[in-house]
Amino acid sequence: MLEKALTMNLGHTYLGDQTCSFNIWAPHLETLELLIVTQNNRRVSLLKQPSGYWTGQVENIKPGDNYYFVLNGNLERPDPISNLQPEGVHGPSQVVDHTYSWSDGTWRGKALEEYVIYELHVGTFTPEGTFEAIIPRLDDLRDLGVTAIDIMPVAEFPGTRNWGYDGVSFFAPHHAYGGVNGLKALVNACHEKNMAVILDVVYNHFGPEGNYLGDFCPYYTEKYQTPWGRSNNFDDTYNEEVRHFFYQNLLYWMEHFHIDAFRLDAIHAIVDMSAHPFLKELAEVVDTYSKQKQRTYYVISESDLSDSRILRPKSECGFAHDAQWLDDIHHCVHTLLTGEKSGYYADYGKIEHLAKAIKQSYVYTGEYSVHRKRRHGNSAADLPGRQFIVSAQTHDQVGNRMLGERLTSLVDFHALKLAIATVMVSPYIPMLFMGEEYAEEAPFLYFTSHGDPNLIKGVRDGRKDEFKSFKWMGEPPDPQDEQTFLKSKINWEKRLQGKHHVMLRFYKKLLALRKNIPALSNLSKEYLHIDMREEERLLFLTRWQERDRVVVLLNFNSHDMTALVQIGATVGEKLLDSYDTEWFAQTQQTEVLERDLTKLPGEIHPNQEINLKPYHVAIYHLKSHL
């Protein structure tokens, strides 16, 4: 399977000299023709191979020519492996020449432990909503401390507004974002600035509108259902060619777009009971390609299973994925700061939960889950921190709220600082969601631009049903309304204004400390001690790397707390205090004057009693170990 995945190209390949080859899997069709729309609907027949693939080398066809396939003589459909859909999911496909003037020839990627990730949605990150409009902002992101951007799905979806998880043309960067060359320009610019690019891909389902794959071949199985409809066929009859489609998709993004890593969306919705799991083979394909190219590409999975098998090596019967999104720290911090306990938040809310998430990754390692009403998870305590990506906000946790509120709208300024500090001082890879670094207030709502009236109604009703377990009051914004999309665009200019600029500087400070202090940059859970005080809602972390040591003081109370700090050192020198006046919003200046006399001392000593303010965070560098 690996040899086939790495050598057999799907779809069309432009060979130059106005010649193009085609290779399409459609085992049950009687005839398959190419209909070249831009050449007066010229038809060319393809030849069926014993394998069920239809092949042909077509002359007098050039980049920019639009075409359909004609199935069994009368059914016109876009190319299932289309590289560009200039008129959307229902329109013709376009011949693409992937020749591009790359300038990243010396780029060899970054080690995963060097990643500081910035998740963004192309359509709402800039007013233009295109790939190339992102490029002028890369210097600001790099100055912040970002080393990798994570792009939400870009595969062609219906209309022009969508989160991207309704994609149907998996090989076609969305035309409204700038298509093939727009994405290449963005990746090239990132690499020139020493930044990696992660692409979010959705292999658990296809979108419902414009999805014509079933007309060509058995891509689905009726054995299982996903939350979004029919399950992709990973273990039923004909599954080998279905798997090949997805392996080819990853190779396509790596080969033609120089993508560095992939976030696999919701792998817990991929059902596969085979002895050779798709998710394991997928990692093998990427690993083999990495060795061929002598550089490392990464597979990062989103999963709510709390199952370490995803990350464990093949020698331990694992899938050998490089990393996964870890929501546990977000859930712990969110519940501690907001008090929300509905939906999946019912399983969190204690300091001990946060302590376990920081020390062991998964909060649930076989314990009973109130939300799931069953035991959940296994242990990942022995796995290194570099295999987990953590955050205070993501598109999921913000956008799947009924009103799309960011944490900025739910807690005060001090609590915001505490939330991101908790993420930054953990022994994991941090990720930011676009705009959070300057306390963006615009919501991130769920938006669509479907064309099917029945689907539009179904999405509206489905969103309402999703929110029932959270007991949120009111009506959710209409996903189909363009204003819902426009309200979700971030306000980049705010980052240099008032409290937003204060928060931006706070993020920069945390990222600089994380980069430059060995005890914080070391992503090992072994060199970590946690002093947990449940009743006081306090958490004190000690982290070290050889002789370099820091202690982090975190107060999750809404009121002052006095605590005895046992630092195990002769003295601790303050590196950061969230109650220093430079970290106050302008609206808090009166409060600053009142609190100046109570801020933390520049040094602390063993067994010293200190006073922590509401939602206070402080970091001390320990000069010498006792």
DSSP class per residue in 389-425 = EEES--HHHHHTSTT---GGGTS-HHHHHHHHHHHHT
Q: Which helix (H) or strand (E) holds 22?
A: strand 19-25
Residue 302 annotated to the active site: yes
**Average pLDDT of the segment spanning 232-255:** 94
Domain 524-622 classified CATH 1.10.10.10?
no
Whether 597 has a pLDDT exceeding 50, the answer reads: no
Residues of the chain with CATH 3.20.20.80: 115-507
For residue 26, what pLDDT is reported?
96
**Average pLDDT of the segment spanning 457-475:** 72
- Cβ contacts of 134-137, under 8 Å, gap ≥ 24: 134/186, 135/185, 135/186, 135/189, 137/492
Q: Which tokens go with 482?
A: 């363009």
Mean residue pLDDT across the chain = 93
For residue 235, what pLDDT is reported?
92
Return all residues near 503 (Cβ < 8 A) that are at least 6 apart.
Answer: 413, 416, 417, 437, 438, 439, 585
- For residue 66, count other CB atoms closer than 10 A to its CB: 19
Percentage of the chain modeled with pLDDT above 90: 84
Residue 113 annotated to the active site: no
Candidates 150, 209, 260, 302; catalytic one = 302
The pTM score is 0.96
**Average pLDDT of the segment spanning 43-64:** 97
**pLDDT tens track for 520-565:** 999 999 999 999 999 999 999 999 999 999 999 999 999 999 988 8
Q: Scanning the structure block, which residue is given the tokens 């700038």?
A: 178
Residue 189 bridge partners (DSSP): none
Residues of the chain with CATH 2.60.40.1180: 524-622
**Residue among 162, 168, 6 at smallest CA distance from 82:** 168
Whether 177 has a pLDDT exceeding 80, the answer reads: yes
How far apart are alpha carbons 499 and 516 in whole angstroms?
A: 26
Q: Which tokens go with 395?
A: 């598109």
**pLDDT tens track for 361-410:** 999 999 999 999 999 999 999 999 999 999 999 999 999 999 999 999 99
Architecture of domain 2-94: Sandwich (2.60)
How big is the chain by its Cα radius of gyration, in Å?
Answer: 26
Whether 196 has a pLDDT exceeding 50, the answer reads: yes
Query: Of 3-7, 173-177, 393-397, 559-563, where does mean pLDDT reach its minimum?
Result: 3-7
How far apart are alpha carbons 167 and 174 in whole angstroms?
A: 9
Please identify, in words, the CATH class of the domain defined by 115-507.
alpha beta
Percentage of the chain modeled with pLDDT above 70: 95
How far apart are alpha carbons 499 and 93 in whole angstroms?
A: 48
Whether 626 has a pLDDT exceeding 70, the answer reads: no
For residue 223, what pLDDT is reported?
85
For residue 457, what pLDDT is reported?
84
For residue 473, what pLDDT is reported?
66
Query: Of 152-166, 271-285, 587-601, where does mean pLDDT reach its minimum?
Result: 587-601
**pLDDT tens track for 73-88:** 999 999 999 999 999 9
**Confidence grade of residue 625 (pLDDT, cut at 50, 70, 90):** low
**pLDDT tens track for 425-459:** 999 999 999 999 999 999 999 999 998 888 888 78
Q: What is the largest CA-CA distance in the chain?
A: 85
For residue 102, what pLDDT is reported?
98
How far apart are alpha carbons 160 and 452 in whole angstroms?
A: 14
For residue 598, what pLDDT is reported?
54
Residues of the chain with CATH 2.60.40.10: 2-94
How far apart are alpha carbons 163 and 152 in whole angstroms?
A: 7
Candidates 65, 209, 265, 328; catalytic one = 265
Return all residues near 222 (Cβ < 8 A) that are at least 6 apart.
Answer: 230
Helices and strands in the chain: count of H runs, count of E runs: 17, 31
User: ∠ CA 343-346-350 to the nearest 5 degrees?
Assistant: 145
